[in-house]
Amino acid sequence: MNAIFAIGLTEFRRMFVSPLAWSILAVVQFILAWIFLLGLNEYLTQIQPQVAGMEDPPGISDLVVSALYLWAGIIMLVVMPLITMRQFAEERMNQTLALLTASPISNTQIVLGKYLGVLLFVLLMVALLSLMPLSLSFGTGLDWGKFAAAALGLVLLLASFAAAGLFLSSLTRQPVIAAVMTFGLLLFLVVLYISGSSQGTGSEVFVYLSHFGHFLSFLEGMFDSSDLVYYLLFIVGFLTLTIRKLDNDRLQG
């Protein structure tokens, strides 16, 4: 347990000694802030007057907050591979992986430690992002349930991105290839959702397999334990594959 925290915290720190993490946080925050203000403006000037007379009008949590988290999920499809690509591929390239594999720790601890590092970054990112909708609570009443579901959904979605990225990073020694493969896989799962929900040829199976389908139900404010289980299975599955890959490295050389 101690080793997992040691690796996780050091990985987290190392992200911030290079400009990569800072620039990613800054760019993503800037773009999302723009989207947030755009949505807020539209809501105040156009939607609010229209829905004023309705009996149960959609509120700001439905229209602005959900949209923000959805955009965050979409943008992170591109950004997450950049974070995870370093984890094993860069260590392989710089031949530093021997430090971990020669230490008295198991491969499971190495993988969980690396994953913890990425997870801390994800939590930081979602926390920064959540400051925007939270700032609305000064002026209006937020639907806290919906807000919490959306934030939890985003954390789970990004955690699943991270697990997939970690595995693909362990397969190669070129960080760029790891990033491209991760991006491809994540995008493919989105395409699965689109093809599953298209009219006529749609299939429930595709929607179920895609990580985005489960994310959307969180955004609607629905906390379904089957969605949670989907993400947990996804994460555990990819982490297990990563551990197996490291074991295999030792055996195959």
* Interacting residue ranges for other proteins, rule: CB under 8 A: 2-3, 6-7, 10, 14, 17-18, 94-106, 250-251, 253
- CB within 8 A of 144, min separation 6: which ones? none
Shortest Å, Cβ 171 to other proteins: 18
Shortest Å, Cβ 89 to other proteins: 15
**Based on CB atoms, which residue is closest to other proteins, 107 or 130?**
107
Shortest Å, Cβ 105 to other proteins: 6
**Based on CB atoms, which residue is closest to other proteins, 16 or 223?**
16
- Interatomic CA distance for residues 89 and 93, integer angstroms: 6
- Interatomic CA distance for residues 12 and 25, integer angstroms: 13
**Based on CB atoms, which residue is closest to other proteins, 220 or 247?**
247
**Based on CB atoms, which residue is closest to other proteins, 94 or 199?**
94
**3-state class (DSSP) for residue 228:** helix
- Interatomic CA distance for residues 253 and 250, integer angstroms: 5
* Phi (first) and psi of residue 40, to 5 degrees: -65, -45
Shortest Å, Cβ 114 to other proteins: 13
**Based on CB atoms, which residue is closest to other proteins, 199 or 250?**
250
Query: Is 71:133 a contact under the CB 8 Å cutoff?
Result: no
**Based on CB atoms, which residue is closest to other proteins, 103 or 135?**
103
Shortest Å, Cβ 11 to other proteins: 10
**3-state class (DSSP) for residue 85:** coil
Shortest Å, Cβ 106 to other proteins: 6
What is the per-residue burial (b if ≥16 Cβ within 10 Å, else e) of 81-108? bbbbbbbbbbbbeeeebeebeeeebebe
